[in-house]
Amino acid sequence: MAEPAPLIDTFGRRITYLRLSVTDRCDLRCTYCMPERMQFLPRKDILSLEECYDLARGFMERGVRKIRLTGGEPLVRRDVTDLVRALGRHVGAELDEVTLTTNATQLADKAQLLADGGVRRINISLDTLDRETFQRLSRRDALAQVLGGIAAAKAAGLKVKLNTVAMKGVNDAEIPDIVAWAHGEGHDVTLIETMPLGEVDENRVDHYLPLAAVEDRLAERFTLTPSSHTTGGPSRYFEVAETGGRIGLITPLSNNFCAGCNRIRVTATGQLFPCLGGGERVDLRAALRSDDPQTRLADALDTAMAIKPERHDFRIGEGEAPTLDRHMSVTGG
Ligand code: SAM
Ligand code: SF4
């Protein structure tokens, strides 16, 4: 039988990286991510972990080499470590890496299980080191839990990268301290601009901060040297002389990064979104639950390649394109 074709879109970009959301639910309510009274997807529509694994296998067969489990908060999904372990068995063969993005609230209990399951690196979201700011931002008093989770990840030997959303008037003054702390702990940091995904209880424009402003602030305290480091993703990197650590900047709004995009996203209900910032979608759950899942899935992935747009159309500001009606917690961060 002929080898299945790799996933290549109409712009010649090869897709090798899958972000798979295992739940849209979360134990925090970050104000930039979701409203306090978030409407979650009906549980009956969510893929089982076995279906998630089957999907992942389908992607591996088409050349996907890296899988990131995300959400919502992936660690609130019961038994998600079973899925991690199942995927981890493919690392070193079909897969280069299995990883997660997490808020770390549950990591104290799960870090070792993840490491044992084949995870080597993990992304953890941390927007502040101040308890009150954390409580205001996430609407939960969970900073101590999160810091415990980060410590557990380090103790389990996981390489930690921190993700920090930069917000004007919220954490901008604190970012150099976050960088110093993170690098002191041996963790890299990536700073992210707020993206207009899903309605929230606030106006994102109020806190939107282009990262060029953060770069200037960091340069007042640190010597930053542009780095040739690349992960094939959207970050630009800088080495920080004083700490020996690295900072990544993801600037979807102020500096579009789509040309080298190698990723696609699948929601917890099996909807494939070829672009985080576009409305295009393909229903993989219907394919998976059909009489001929293999053929239907292969066709669905071909459709996804045909409709992956060249670039996202994020804009933020008064009079700009409206916010997409999907929250980041649905598409998977
Ligand atoms: N709950 C996990 C977490 O927070 O790490 C994983 C899912 S979360 C949606 C993934 C990432 O998306 C987090 O780093 C979060 O800060 C970021 N995020 C959420 N909403 C965002 C938005 N509107 N703009 C930019 N980043 C956002
Ligand atoms: Fe939850 Fe992550 Fe969204 Fe915060 S950013 S509400 S932790 S999904």
Ligand 2, from 21, 22, 23, 33: best to mutate by most atoms within 8 Å of Cβ?
Answer: 33
CA distance 53 to 47: 10
Distance 26 CA to ligand 2 centre (A): 6
Residues with CB under 6 A from ligand 2: 26, 28-30, 33-34, 71-73, 103, 125, 138, 329
Atom of ligand 1 nearest to the CA of 21: 7
Residues 326 and 277: beta-carbon distance below 8 Å: no
Distance 294 CA to ligand 1 centre (A): 32
In the prediction, which pLDDT does 279 show? 81
In the prediction, which pLDDT does 118 show? 98
Distance 73 CA to ligand 2 centre (A): 6
Mean predicted confidence (pLDDT) in 136-143: 97
- In CATH, the number for domain 17-331 is 3.20.20.70
Distance 52 CA to ligand 1 centre (A): 21
212-265 per-position pLDDT tens digit: 889 999 999 999 999 887 766 778 899 999 999 999 998 877 666 788 888 999
Distance 267 CA to ligand 2 centre (A): 15
Mean predicted confidence (pLDDT) in 159-167: 97
Mean predicted confidence (pLDDT) in 161-167: 96
52-105 per-position pLDDT tens digit: 999 999 999 999 999 999 999 999 999 999 999 999 999 999 999 999 999 999
More confident residue, 6 or 230: 6
CA distance 298 to 296: 5
Residues 248 and 234: beta-carbon distance below 8 Å: no
Length of the chain equals 333
In the DSSP assignment, the letter for residue 158 is P
This prediction has a pTM of: 0.94
Residue among 194, 113, 126, 116 at smallest CA distance from 160:
126
Give me the helices (H) in 139-289, please: 143-155, 175-184, 211-221, 284-288
Name residues whose C-beta falls within 8 Å of residue 134's C-beta, 6 or more positions apart in sequence. 127, 128, 141, 142, 143, 146
In the prediction, which pLDDT does 299 show? 96
pLDDT band for 48, please (50, 70, 90 cuts).
very high
Relative to beta strand 66-71, strand 97-102 is parallel
If one counts every other C-beta atom within 10 angstroms of the C-beta of residue 16, the result is: 18
In the prediction, which pLDDT does 317 show? 60
